[in-house]
């Protein structure tokens, strides 16, 4: 089995793509007010829920630092002012205007592939002229530079994907220059770093698996890193950072690949920790784990006791893909991927593994009394599996459920309050897991910190599915 990015094939694909909200088509000769409002909409409004049909990075259409209405209002209020400038200022403005005219000529070559695209491009051209005027008046206007970069980037998206013209790459290159200028003037402009990284990524994708593409992907990852440093609470930036690393790992020499892949895993996981129902990051984490399992098998590398086996990687991959499908069952890419990996789940459970647990009813038992035993996780909860050797009667407890003639730890999903890693001197040494419930905390110890990450994610995601009312979908996946 191989990782594929072809939507028609039932293979694993990157699930991050963008689809903009269809805009009303303006009249053939719109009024100035209508054009102004349409331009604001084109630059400002966020995109709708995305569909994962093609592996494209999503543009951040969130907060904007400078609106079209504000710009035009400022231009109008400034009319007639500073009509006489020193020669040096006039010379600088002339140089800026010449550069701007060259960019405008580039934008004017874009027409759009259909009526909607042509309508949108007219709006973008209108916006570009206003931003060009603002920059000609004040080359230090970082807000106008940033918004003009957005217009250039949107115009590049309007170029036909089948076109052999260099216009798309040229527009993206100009957008990158504007982002560079804007961030030079205002180094804390995190939105600019984020969208700049997307523009670089789009340029890299046009170059395949070349050395030039490798350098561009490296630049993109650096800009995503800067965006996250300036705005850590951005799951979309973390997800796109992971995607860029995933693309980079396919180009670099084999000796560098493992490190980059594991870094990508950490970015997807960090995105999920910020937004538990972020199905794109969940799905992308599944694809990168699947690819890691494939590479491990293909290279025939030996796996020591501390490393995760290919079979376990496949199982982890299947968990994330199953959860992504449960959250968005209508997404065909997720459905296709699930058909490929469902058999890799430990059915009829979502996850099976080992945790070290205290005797039921005695959370402060001596460390020597804690025993390693099997646990299973499904849509209903986490259940300890007690072997015949371990069967014995213990006092009842909130976490103890009858299991034949013995008691075992069981945590029902609706009872969960929070799940987290923990480190406490009262616990046995190792990777501590704390599951806080409405009845009180339950402490367990994972076999390793890497194993702990898998347990924390799986339990959180099962709870997220419960909270989103998707339990029936998950139950259908694991029970058939």
Rounded to 5, what percent of the chain is helix, strand, coil? 55, 10, 35
Q: Is the pLDDT of residue 346 over 80?
A: yes
Q: Which residue has the higher pLDDT, 326 or 24?
A: 326
CB atoms within 10 A of CB 229: 11
Residue range 119-156, pLDDT digits in tens: 888 888 888 888 988 888 898 999 999 999 999 999 98
CA distance 332 to 95: 51
Say which residue the tokens 């784990």 belong to: 289
Give the whole-number percent of the chain exceeding pLDDT 70.
72
- Nearest of 175, 137, 147, 145 to residue 159 by alpha carbon: 175
Cβ–Cβ < 8 Å for 131, 147: yes
Please give the mean pLDDT across all residues of the chain. 79
Query: What is the reported pTM?
Result: 0.78
> Which of the 8 DSSP states describes residue 470?
-
Q: How would residue 75 be classed by pLDDT, with cut points 50, 70 and 90?
A: very low
Cβ–Cβ < 8 Å for 264, 250: no
Q: Which residue has the higher pLDDT, 161 or 37?
A: 161
Q: How would residue 25 be classed by pLDDT, with cut points 50, 70 and 90?
A: very low
Cβ–Cβ < 8 Å for 46, 372: no
CA distance 340 to 332: 13
Cβ–Cβ < 8 Å for 174, 152: yes
Question: How far is CA 13 from its chain centroid?
Answer: 14
């Amino acid at each position: 089995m191989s990782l594929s990015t072809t939507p028609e094939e039932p293979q694993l694909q990157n699930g991050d793509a963008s689809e903009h909200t269809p805009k009303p088509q303006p009249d053939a000769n719109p009024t100035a007010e209508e054009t102004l409002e349409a331009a604001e909409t084109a630059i400002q409004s966020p995109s709708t829920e995305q569909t994962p049909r093609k592996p494209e990075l999503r543009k951040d259409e969130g907060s904007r630092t400078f609106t079209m209405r504000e710009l035009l209002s400022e231009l109008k209020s400034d009319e007639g002012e500073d009509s006489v400038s020193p020669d040096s200022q006039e010379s600088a403005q002339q140089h800026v205007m010449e550069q701007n005219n060259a960019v405008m000529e580039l934008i004017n070559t874009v027409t759009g592939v259909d009526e909607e695209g042509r309508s949108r491009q007219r709006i973008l051209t209108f916006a570009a002229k206003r931003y060009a005027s603002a920059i000609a008046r004040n080359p230090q206007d970082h807000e106008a530079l940033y918004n003009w970069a957005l217009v250039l980037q949107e115009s590049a998206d309007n170029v036909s994907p089948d076109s052999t013209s260099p216009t798309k790459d040229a527009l993206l290159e100009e957008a990158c220059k504007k982002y560079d200028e804007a961030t030079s003037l205002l180094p804390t402009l995190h939105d600019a770093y984020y969208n700049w990284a997307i523009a670089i990524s789009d340029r890299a994708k046009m170059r395949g698996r070349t050395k030039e593409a490798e350098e561009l992907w490296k630049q993109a990852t650096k800009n995503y890193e800067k965006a996250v440093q300036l705005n850590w609470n951005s799951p979309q930036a973390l997800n796109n950072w992971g995607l860029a690393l995933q693309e980079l790992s396919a180009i670099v020499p084999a000796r560098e690949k493992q490190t980059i892949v594991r870094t990508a895993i950490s970015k997807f996981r960090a995105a999920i920790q910020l937004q538990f129902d972020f199905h794109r990051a969940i799905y992308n984490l599944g694809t990168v784990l699947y690819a890691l399992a494939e590479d491990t098998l293909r290279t025939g590398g030996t796996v020591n006791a501390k490393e995760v086996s290919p079979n376990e990687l496949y199982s982890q991959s299947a968990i994330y893909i199953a959860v992504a499908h449960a959250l968005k069952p209508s997404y065909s890419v997720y459905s296709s991927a699930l058909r490929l990996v469902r058999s890799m789940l430990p059915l009829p459970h979502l996850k099976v593994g080992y945790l070290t647990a205290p005797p039921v009813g005695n959370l402060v038992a001596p460390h020597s009394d804690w025993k390693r035993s099997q646990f299973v996780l499904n849509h209903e909860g986490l259940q300890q599996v007690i072997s015949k050797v371990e069967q014995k009667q213990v006092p009842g407890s909130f976490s103890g459920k009858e299991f034949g003639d013995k008691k075992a730890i069981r945590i029902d999903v609706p009872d969960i309050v929070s799940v987290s890693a923990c480190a406490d001197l009262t616990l046995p040494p190792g990777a501590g897991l704390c599951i806080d419930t409405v009845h009180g905390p339950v402490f367990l110890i994972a076999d390793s910190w890497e194993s702990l990450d898998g347990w924390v994610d799986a339990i959180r995601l099962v709870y997220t599915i419960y909270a989103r009312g998707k339990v029936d979908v998950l139950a259908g996946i694991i029970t058939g």
